[in-house]
Copies of this chain bind each other. A is one copy, B any other.
């Protein structure tokens, strides 16, 4: 089946494809906030209607939280599982957005047109590139070039609590020759990538309790232990002076990258100064003696994602609070064991508690890093297809982010995942004023059409 008319159809249909994306972006499907459960359901239903409209056999699959969407189409060619997520991050601080995050619009910027909205880049805009490629193929040829299962999640931004049980219960209908995941980015403006190494993630929330109630810092300051002080001591102790994480056993399973890989990365044209400069930074803050790409793709980290305690409003309140809490995450590489790291972290916290203080822990997920087997010929086919669409040849790269589902596809369904996406470094995903380049959307759709043709060949 010929590719060119499919690409022409994609170009002609772009305005309609944008209208569909805008409709999806208007649904505030924030999965971590229970107040938005109905919006998550609405987004799942929207996806089912859209998939059915192009001939997929699509259905909503309930979970204890937000539903999955599973859709099947095509009857010949390789079997592929496409994964994306219809949920989005919270929008706070709302005051930093220059427009309503759920009132999407095409905006002109000095670097070209962008689609501005929460979820534009992560992941609604990205997942629609694949669906629009399928739609164009179906419209031109009357059928899909592969046996495709579309699998969409609604809990990716809230720790994916339903993913593992769902994969186990639905292994037969989801298993395919290869998984395609569209939740990653490009190198700069012109180099498409296939991510072959992904960091894992351990998310922990700790709450330190000292006094049994909030106290007046004049009446009790001195003899009463302040839980913010305890929490600060713990956080300060998580890194040593060279930037290494101090949790005992943390570096077990962290491999040193071979010289040839480091050399290959040095040739990708990645500009560390520009990467940092875009967010107001100049000095790499990770481990001493590592390049920025190593810090991002090949080294584990510990970050504090949030901290809270005492009086946080305007003005001043001389309270000595009863509790203080922090959300802490670890990015993992190689064969680091997320459960051992969680356990070691919790023991380290317990060991640092002074008298009268207690610590409570909540988990927000624990997934290992993923390393793909690029000997599978599909990887090289996809790399060549991408190279035809974009100015620069495509590259095999690592990713600092964590896409735990790729690990689950490997361990639970025995599938390799091919991670291809068209995000840019300045998309501000998880931040105010998130956007997705119109070029990413348009050429992303064209890229998937090419990849489907290549894989079916």
Contact = CB atoms under 8 A, between A and B. Distances in A.
Interface of A: 32-34, 89-90, 92, 96, 157-159, 185, 199, 201, 203, 205, 210-226, 228-229, 231-233, 235-239, 272, 275-276, 279-287, 292, 295-296, 299, 301, 303-321, 324, 326-327, 329, 331, 354-356, 364-365, 399-402, 425, 428-432
A276 B272 CA distance: 53
B32 A317 contact: yes
Contacts of A356: 280-283, 285
B222 A331 contact: yes
A280 B32 contact: no
Contact of A232 (B92, B199, B235, B287): B235
Nearest to A365: B316
A203 B226 CA distance: 16
Given A222-B286, A296-B223, A318-B201, A432 B214 contact: yes
Given A34-B314, A211-B280, 12 more contacts: A90-B311, A159-B315, A218-B399, A218-B401, A221-B331, A222-B295, A228-B235, A236-B236, A285-B356, A303-B318, A305-B318, A308-B308
A364 B223 CA distance: 23
Nearest 5 Cβ contacts at the A-B interface: A218-B401, A212-B280, A32-B315, A222-B295, A306-B310
A370 to B, nearest CB: 13
13 contacts: A90-B315, A210-B281, A216-B431, A217-B305, A222-B400, A223-B272, A228-B306, A282-B356, A303-B320, A305-B310, A307-B309, A311-B327, A317-B327
A224 B281 contact: yes
A5 B212 CA distance: 44
Contact of A355 (B214, B282, B303, B364): B282
Nearest to A429: B216
A309 B89 CA distance: 17
- How many identical subunits does the complex contain? 2
A374 to B, nearest CB: 21
Contacts of A237: 236
Contacts of A213: 96, 279-280, 428, 431-432
A431 B329 contact: no
Contacts of A228: 235, 304, 306-307, 326
Which residue of A222, A286, A402 has the most chain B CB atoms within 10 A of its CB atom? A222
Contact of A320 (B203, B236, B305, B312): B305
A297 to B, nearest CB: 9
A295 B223 contact: yes
Nearest to A326: B228
Contacts of A310: 304-307, 327
A355 B232 contact: no
Contact of A223 (B90, B235, B285, B329): B285
A365 B284 CA distance: 37
Contacts of A316: 32, 158-159, 203, 205, 305, 327, 329, 364-365
